[in-house]
Structure 1
Amino acid sequence: MQFGYSEICLAHDPGSRHPETPDRLRAIRERLKKKHGVEYVEADPCDLDRMAAVHERAYVESVRDFCADGGGNWDPDTTAVEETWDAICHSAGLACWAVEAALEGATGRRTPFSIGRPPGHHAVYDDAMGFCFVNNVAVAAQHALDSDAYDVDRVAIVDWDVHHGNGTQDIFYERDDVFFVSLHEQGLYPGTGAVDETGEGAGEGRTMNVPMPAGTDDREYLAAVEGPITQALTDYDPDLLLISAGFDAHRHDPISRIRLSTEAYALMTDRFRTLADETDAALAFILEGGYGLDVLADSVAIVHETFDGREPVEPESDCGEKAESALEDVADAHGLDLDVDG
C-alpha cells in the first residue's frame, strides 16, 4: 500500500498520559518496516478554505488561533499545543491525498492509506471533541465532490472505529451525496449512533448506524459488513468508498469491549475491497483511533498484507443472538430484507 505520512503529525503532543500519542504513528512505522511493498508519501497541507467546506469557518479559525496562543485543553479530552495546527493541516492534507490517489487509479498494492493524526471523526461542524479538531474524512470526501478533476457524485464512508463517528454523521446528516455508515460499540463514547439515526431531509436513509453489543466478535462484525452494510452501499453505488479506519475495536485495545482479533481487519478489508470492485468505486483508508500500540500496528499491517496478497482466515463461529438481533434492527430501519446471519 501507499501510506500518507508526515513527521509533522508527530509534533501534536497532548501529553504523556493521553492515549492519542505520537507513539501511535511510530509503532505503525516500526511494524511496517518488516513488510514488503510499503511506500510512504508526504502530501501538501490542507488549507483553511478546504476545511471550511465542511466546518464553520469561524470555528476553524478559532482552532488555528488557539494553537497559535500555545494551545491547552479545548475540553477534558481534546488537547493542543502550538504545533497542533500544523499537524491538523497535514493530517487533513494526507486524507485529501488518499482520495486523490484513489481517484487517479491507485488500486491493489498501491491502495492509499493516510496515517495522519490528530484523528478526525468526532469533530462536528462547529466544535472539537474526542481528540479530534478537524474531520479529516469529511474534508477529503468534500474535496472529492468539489474537485473539477474528478467525476464524483456519491461518496460512501464506512467508519469501523469502535466509537460512533458522530462528527462525520453531523456534517453529512442532511445530505444525499454522502452515505455514512458507522459500525461501533453500543453505548460507548460519545453516546450517539442509535439505529434510528438514519438522516434527515435530503439525507433520509443516507446514515446507517450499526451499534453492536459489548463482546461482539469477528463473525458478528463480518455479518454486519456482509449483510446490511453491503446491501445498502451496493444499492447506493458510490463513486468513492472511504474507510474511517480506527482499530480500537480490537480485543486487546484498552478502551473498548468489542472482541475483534487482528484477523477481523483483514476480513473487513477484503470485503470492502470486493465491494469497491463490484461498484467500481475508488477506495482509500484514513486512520482514526486505536490505542494499544502493538495491536494498532499489527492491525494496520494486516490491512497492508491483505492488499499485498495475503488471504484472510475466515472465522468459524456463528453469529450470536444479541448481535443477530442488533443487525435485524439495522435492516428494519433501512427497509432491507435480508438474512443477517447468512
Structure 2
Amino acid sequence: MRFGYRDRCLDHDTGSRHPETADRLRAIRRGLKRRHGVEYDDGSFADRAALEAVHDPDYVADVEEFCADGGGTWDADTVAVEATWDAARASAGLACWAAEEALDGSDGRQTPFSIGRPPGHHAETDEAMGFCFFNNAAIAANQALERDGVDRVAIFDWDVHHGNGTQDICYDDPNVFYASFHERGLFPGTGDILETGGPNARKTVLNAPLPGGCGDVEYTTAVDDLLAPALDRFDPDLFLISAGFDAHQHDPISRMRVSTEGYGVLTDRVRSIAEDSDAALAFILEGGYGLDALSDSVGMVHETFDGRQPVEPEGEILSKAKRVLADVRDAHDL
C-alpha cells in the first residue's frame, strides 16, 4: 500500500494522559517497517477553501485563532496546541491525497491509506469534538466530487464510535452515502437506525448500532447483508473507509471483539465491494487506542493488499446483533 504520512501530524500534542497521541502514528510506522512493499507520500496541507467547503468559515477561523493563541481545552476531550492548526490541515490534506490517488488509478498493492492525525469523523460543520477538528473524510469526499466523472462518493466508517460529524455534514447530500457500524451506547450516542438521510437524500445514511461484544462474525455479516447491497444500489465512484481500529478486542475503550484477522476480512470485503462497483478505494485513519492492536491491524490491512488471504470467521452471529441487522434491513428495504 501507499501510506500518506507527514511528520507535522506528530506536533499535535494532546498530553501524556490523552488516548489520542502521536504515539499512535509512531506505533503504526514501527509496525510497517517489518512489512514488505510499504511506500510513503507526504501529501499537502488542506487549504482554507477545502476546509470552508465543508465547515462554517467562522468555525475555521475560530480554530485557527484558538491555535494561534496557544490552544488549550476546546472541550473535555478535545485539546489543541499552537501546532494543531498545521497538524489538522495536514491530516485533512492527507485524506484528500488518498482520495485523489485512488481516483487517479492507484489500486491493488498501491491502494492509498492516509495515516494522519488528529482524526476527523466527530468534527461537525461548526464544532470540534471527540478529538477531531476538521472532518477529513468529508473534506476528501467533497473535493473528489469536484472532479469530472465523480458523481457519488460512499464512506464506510468502521470505527467503534459513530461518526456524528460525517453524518451531520453529509446527511442531506444525495451524492454521498455514509454507513457506520458502531457500538450502541458509546460516545457520542448518535447513529440511530432510523437516521437514514435528509429529505433530499433518503436512504443515503445507514447506521448499524451493534451491541457490545460483537466481533468478526457480526461485522462480516453486517457488511455482507447490509453494506454490500446498499452500495450496489448507490453505485459509488469513490469508496472511502473511515478506518478506526478501536473495535479491536484489545482496544482499551470499547467492548467489541474484532480481531486483527477480522480487519483483514473486512479489508477483503470492502475491496470486493469497490471492485464490484468499479469504484476507487482509499482508507483514512480514524481511531484506535491500543498501540499494538492499532499497529497490527493497519499492518493487516496492508498485508491483505500485499496478497495475504485472511481467514474467514466461524461461529454464529449473536442473537441481539441479528435483531439489529434485521431492523436496518427493514429501514433500508434491503
| Smaller-chain TM-score bracket | over 0.9
Q: Which residue of 2 aligns with 1:88?
A: 88
Which secondary structure state, in structure 2, belongs to the residue aligned with residue 180 of structure 1? strand
1:124 matched to 2:124 = yes
CA drift at 1:44: 1.2
State how many pairs are aligned.
Answer: 334
Match of 1:328 among 309, 326, 329: 326
Structure 1 CA distance, aligned partners of 2:293 and 2:29?
Answer: 13
1:257 matched to 2:252 = no
CA drift at 1:174: 0.8
CA drift at 1:151: 1.3
Match of 2:168 among 161, 167, 170: 170
Instruction: Please give the residue correspondences for 1:276-291 in structure 2 after superposition, counting only pairs within 5 Å.
Output: 276-291=274-289
Instruction: Please give the residue correspondences for 1:1-342 in structure 2 after superposition, counting only pairs within 5 Å.
Output: 1-147=1-147, 150-336=148-334
TM-score by length of 1: 0.97
Structure 2 gap ranges (5+): none
Structure 1 CA distance, aligned partners of 2:43 and 2:305?
Answer: 22
Structure 2 CA distance, aligned partners of 1:105 and 1:200?
Answer: 32
CA contact (8 A) 1:121 1:168 kept: yes
CA contact (8 A) 1:175 1:201 kept: no
**Taking every aligned residue pair, what percent have the same amino acid on both sides?**
63
Which secondary structure state, in structure 2, belongs to the residue aligned with residue 256 of structure 1? coil
Structure 2 CA distance, aligned partners of 1:20 and 1:140?
Answer: 22
TM-score by length of 2: 0.99
Q: Which runs of 4+ in 1 moved over 3 A?
A: none
Q: Which range is displaced more, 311-320 or 156-165?
A: 311-320
Structure 2 CA distance, aligned partners of 1:242 and 1:24?
Answer: 21
Structure 1 CA distance, aligned partners of 2:191 and 2:157?
Answer: 11
Which secondary structure state, in structure 1, belongs to the residue aligned with residue 145 of structure 2? helix
Structure 2 CA distance, aligned partners of 1:18 and 1:217?
Answer: 26
Structure 2 CA distance, aligned partners of 1:239 and 1:285?
Answer: 15
Which secondary structure state, in structure 2, belongs to the residue aligned with residue 26 of structure 1? helix
Which secondary structure state, in structure 2, belongs to the residue aligned with residue 202 of structure 1? coil
AA of the residue aligned to 1:328: A
Structure 2 CA distance, aligned partners of 1:87 and 1:217?
Answer: 33
AA of the residue aligned to 2:74: W
CA drift at 1:5: 0.1
Structure 2 CA distance, aligned partners of 1:303 and 1:232?
Answer: 23
CA contact (8 A) 1:172 1:203 kept: no
Which secondary structure state, in structure 2, belongs to the residue aligned with residue 241 of structure 1? strand
Q: Which residue of 2 aligns with 1:339?
A: none
Q: What's the RMSD between the two structures over aligned residues? A: 0.6
